[in-house]
Structure formats: C-alpha cells, structure tokens
Amino acid sequence: MFSWGRHLQRRELGFLGVVAVTLAITALYLNAGLRLADRGGVGWRTVDLGALQRRIESGELRDREADWYHPATAEEATAGGLR
C-alpha cells in the first residue's frame, strides 16, 4: 500500500486544492472561448474568402505584396530600434 496519502499535511492539501481550482477555472475559460469562436460575429474576425477572391479577380486588390513594401535597410533598422 502507498502511504503518501496518509502523510499529506493540511498545507499540502490546501495547495493541491488551489491547483485544482486553477485548472478548473482555466478549463472553463478555454471552453467559453471555444464556444465563442464557433459563433460568427461575436468579436472574432474571420476572412470572407469568397469576397476577397472576387476583389482580387476584379483588380481592386492584387495577389502579391504592396508596391511600397521592401525589406528594411540597415539605416531603417537602426532608426527603428531593431538593432
């Protein structure tokens, strides 16, 4: 027989209780977040792929990076605090 159960002190049982409550609250929070993610229009942004594709095909949007985009130069990187 294991005797570790008989040697647990009140302080250790309290700690295990806090851990159990924390895990339960975390599980409830994640479960609520997953339920909200399934519902559309509740603050979760989704991309309407059909509308996006139609805008690309009509020429309103392009299927590549922007004309103004370029990798940062060494001067831009130091000015922005990246190095």
pLDDT digits (tens, 9 = 90+) for 36-45: 766 665 555 6
pLDDT beyond 80 at 11: yes
pLDDT beyond 90 at 28: yes
**pTM, entire model:** 0.41
Q: In this structure, what DSSP letter does residue 30 have?
A: H
Rounded CA-CA distance 51/56 in Å is 9
Give the containing element (helix H, strand E) for 26: helix 10-38
The domain segmentation of the chain, as residue ranges, is 10-62
Reduce the DSSP state of residue 76 to 3 states and report it.
Answer: helix
Mean pLDDT of the chain: 78
Decide: 29 and 21 in contact? Cβ < 8 Å.
no
